Structure 1
């Protein structure tokens, strides 16, 4: 890569290369390498139960063998409808070894949301949790899809024996009321399958590894096609970038492998941030990963996460601003020893400087903000992990091997003068292959500039005098709720299915706990009445929690353009002005 302005900055970390190589591998090579080099090192930790890299590889190999026996072949899709439990990396790597592309699904999806994703992706198999809600949702959602294989994961066998025994005895372990006899139990297929994955000819640079759904600019969920090299290159670049104390009191240096660190798996792994930076990042470096299926567990909420940090001496944290805010505002924060936390990454939404300051005062760790999108697997930029080199208020510098240009808003083809605001365009090995079966959407977001393929992010910003990327606005209408994307059009389409709704518009409003919250403006059909509770209850049945409106405002009419398009920006502007008073 040619030398870029950020490479010449005095803040570029010493020893970090400008470019990367060695990432043309299938994503499961991370697990195979860790199992070969550190077979007895712990990979996953769950409620005190631990699994080594060798054990996880053995299980992944058996899963690949099972999937092949069920007819799963190259680039078939396998859906993972699981929270952060220890089976997740096993299923992910096992599916990849079978040649399949994983489709990661939010375990809080409604039946309609999961059904859409299974249908659109053409998934042939789905892994779900043995749980009253999750299993029931799965059974309903697979109707009318291509799913032929359902595998049910129970956590009992992954707990320490005494916990599993007591949980089963007291009935505290989650379990569905009954199982369809045609569905498979996870433990049974592992016991009966050989640890011999099928032979698949992989082209890591071209082959699909994951379809990860995102709303995009239209709000209609689209699948981002992420290749094996997308993930591998992003993990390699992050590993080259990070400088962290490998032992208490040591000067920060390159991250050591083989158990020097413990990652906190608090972000969901169906999300690109948690999947790449945490689940895959810990595997690539052969370090421990604490599985956190429910971050809000405990009284008050988040207590169990704080206990896990203390008990397992977590050193690496990957989180969003709402989690750091929850930590610093936790009533029992001073009762826990959080001093092990050395390096903490934050992304998906702006981190309030006051939260950063308070968190670092409490833990002694360093938070470094970054930026990326689902379509970029996800990290494009990140701040140096040194407190004296980062720039608070920016999203950092482009990762090694990543090129960033600021282009005009109209065509996305004209690079703007240095320091001027425009749309952020990115090129690099982490950029997705494209949107699943959506050539129209691909034409909107990809541009060829100076012989390179650039992705238009939809975010507006500039590159400052030190080579840091500063985001100033969003071109898209998306709403960032706790670091997750809520797309107005998707929510509006659900509201339009209510029999009393004539018109609906959704905008993001400031929220102290989640950064932004969803507010819906509704125009009712003539002659009918409705209550806010009625609409909120309807949304509860049809939308995942973070997408649901927190406020409903009824209006006689909604502002529209001359061609009748509802003007969300007018509503947003009115709402922000009202909240200033």
Structure 2
């Protein structure tokens, strides 16, 4: 056995086969049942000609079919590829072709888009449809792909160096596939509250020896955070609870019904509607003790609102990304409004200055958050971006995350924001996250995304795209006065664009390309 996800899951399934592995709606499956189902699908993929190292795309809503597909691909040493189910034809063509996928497992709801895009992806040759009959030529029903297939694990010997690819990004450009060796990924995303495994068998023993635990990744499985939360939970021997599509009422019903202990969301975009649902309806949430945000930080106002609604809840912010793994936890009292501060999980985390040298604690020098040790191989099909993002320094490979930060005198890392989104106005840098957090602290603001628009004098002006709260119509003057109480003058938005609904990814990440265009139109002379 190696630190290979398929090896490890099979070991866990053998050790705790009767325990429930996952639940979605009225469907539930044990570890042994899920392993057998994935083995059947793996044999079908082999029969369809999918070979080790080839890529299997997954374009599904959350469900047991998604995790079955993940496991099936890994069992035959193929590589699963996550597909954003909101993508339109041109975006799908890009992702199918950039990923070199040879097979696609998809929901029949996407038939029209799949058929149109697949015609322009010559390597894509095998299709498995979930949820009924498909109009895509040659598509096999998911049930038929499983029917009659063997549950014998007669697969090639696997390796901890087998690849796992997660496509990420898309807020400012098309997504890129982050390539991980599985052994490196397991350690990078390891739960820091658990002992680190010295050998693969330690993972099995830990899962087998754990008590009953029910965990819920709220984000879609097409997002890396939900996939990583799934594996982390299985290495703890836990039961996973999913909802097919994000709906606040359905999430809380699932928490109540399945007695969820810990749930993971992606920032305010999920936390706000979940909080609003709790103000309208009551649920028995007595089983829930942990509410974790990863991939996006909770603003102080939203955290306070959740604390008031669920006073016994432990609320945590985890700092990390698809490239960096889980790297740090927010310190007590930290928030985008007050300043984000994180305590690193390991000594492989640093802040590197412009010369790629460690920032001296307490110096106030700005640099990039960086990680060495357990990091990805690079970006699929993009050697230039790989070279920029993963430089070698004194014989050691580093990941540059792009997050701008400094190191406090006590060793904590103060993060200001993503460098690529920083707005340069009159020589001053404004980080959108800080301004967004202040705006969302106003009762008339439901959501906000901050960006820059061109300005002849200052280079850029700060602009805010705002979705008002229901029943509110905030004015420029009202929001301006609110911001000036909490921000330096140069950080205060000069342009506001009010929209009925904010455009975000299914995981809740801001679409800065869209926001910039909306703000640009609002700033244009009448």
Q: TM-score, normalised by structure 1?
A: 0.69
Residues 1:241 and 1:293: Cα distance change in structure 2 (over 3 Å)? farther
Alignment of 1:256-405 (within 5 A): 260-276=212-228, 278-296=229-247, 302-322=248-268, 323-330=270-277, 332=279, 335-363=282-310, 364-376=312-324, 378-383=325-330, 390-393=332-335, 394=340, 396-400=342-346, 403-405=348-350
1:339: how far off?
Answer: 2.5
CA distance in 1, matches of 2:39, 2:306: 41
CA distance in 2, matches of 1:390, 1:428: 26
CA distance in 2, matches of 1:58, 1:488: 49
How many residues align? The count is 445
Residue 234 of structure 1 corresponds to 188
Q: Secondary structure at the match of 1:335?
A: coil
Match of 1:73 among 36, 42, 51: 51
CA distance in 2, matches of 1:344, 1:76: 37
1:334: how far off?
Answer: 5.2
Q: Secondary structure at the match of 1:554?
A: helix
CA distance in 1, matches of 2:223, 2:236: 20
Q: Secondary structure at the match of 1:192?
A: coil
CA distance in 1, matches of 2:257, 2:278: 19
Residue 476 of structure 1 corresponds to 420
Residues 1:454 and 1:136: Cα distance change in structure 2 (over 3 Å)? same
Unaligned runs of 5+ in 2: 197-205, 423-431, 438-448, 453-459, 470-496
Residues 1:259 and 1:193: Cα distance change in structure 2 (over 3 Å)? farther
Establish whether residue 144 from structure 1 lines up as the match of residue 120 from structure 2: yes
Match of 1:190 among 141, 146, 164: 146
1:545: how far off?
Answer: 10
Is the 8 Å Cα contact of residues 316 and 344 (structure 1) preserved in structure 2? Answer: yes
Q: Secondary structure at the match of 1:212?
A: strand
Match of 1:212 among 146, 163, 167: 167
Alignment of 1:98-113 (within 5 A): 98-113=76-91
CA distance in 2, matches of 1:508, 1:233: 40
Is the 8 Å Cα contact of residues 341 and 414 (structure 2) preserved in structure 1? Answer: yes
1:511: how far off?
Answer: 4.1
Residues 1:345 and 1:511: Cα distance change in structure 2 (over 3 Å)? farther
CA distance in 2, matches of 1:183, 1:477: 42
Residue 549 of structure 1 corresponds to 514
CA distance in 2, matches of 1:556, 1:93: 49
Q: Secondary structure at the match of 1:147?
A: coil
Residue 406 of structure 1 corresponds to 351
Residue 457 of structure 2 corresponds to none
Q: Secondary structure at the match of 1:456?
A: strand
Is the 8 Å Cα contact of residues 214 and 224 (structure 1) preserved in structure 2? Answer: no
CA distance in 2, matches of 1:35, 1:368: 30
CA distance in 1, matches of 2:120, 2:192: 41
Alignment of 1:35-74 (within 5 A): 35-74=13-52
Give the CA RMSD over aligned residues: 3.6
1:426: how far off?
Answer: 2.6
CA distance in 1, matches of 2:178, 2:7: 22
Q: Could you say which structure has the greater relative contact order, defined with CA pairs below 8 angstroms and 6 or more residues apart?
A: 1
Is the 8 Å Cα contact of residues 381 and 399 (structure 1) preserved in structure 2? Answer: yes
Q: Compare 26-35 and 36-45 and name the one that shifted more.
A: 26-35
Q: Deviations over 1:483-520 (max 9, x none)?
A: xxx9999xxxxxxxxxxxxxxx9997354689xxxxxx
Q: Secondary structure at the match of 1:195?
A: coil
Residues 1:360 and 1:488: Cα distance change in structure 2 (over 3 Å)? closer
1:213: how far off?
Answer: 3.4
Unaligned runs of 5+ in 1: 1-21, 155-174, 243-253, 297-301, 384-388, 490-504, 515-531, 559-581
Residues 1:92 and 1:136: Cα distance change in structure 2 (over 3 Å)? same
CA distance in 2, matches of 1:406, 1:352: 23
Match of 1:116 among 82, 94, 102: 94
Residues 1:508 and 1:53: Cα distance change in structure 2 (over 3 Å)? farther
Alignment of 1:235-254 (within 5 A): 235-238=189-192, 240=194
Is the 8 Å Cα contact of residues 359 and 367 (structure 2) preserved in structure 1? Answer: no
Is the 8 Å Cα contact of residues 214 and 223 (structure 1) preserved in structure 2? Answer: no
Q: Secondary structure at the match of 2:101?
A: coil
Is the 8 Å Cα contact of residues 361 and 410 (structure 2) preserved in structure 1? Answer: no
CA distance in 2, matches of 1:506, 1:197: 60
CA distance in 2, matches of 1:449, 1:391: 35
Residue 397 of structure 2 corresponds to 453
Q: Secondary structure at the match of 2:164?
A: strand
CA distance in 2, matches of 1:395, 1:229: 29
Match of 2:103 among 88, 113, 125: 125
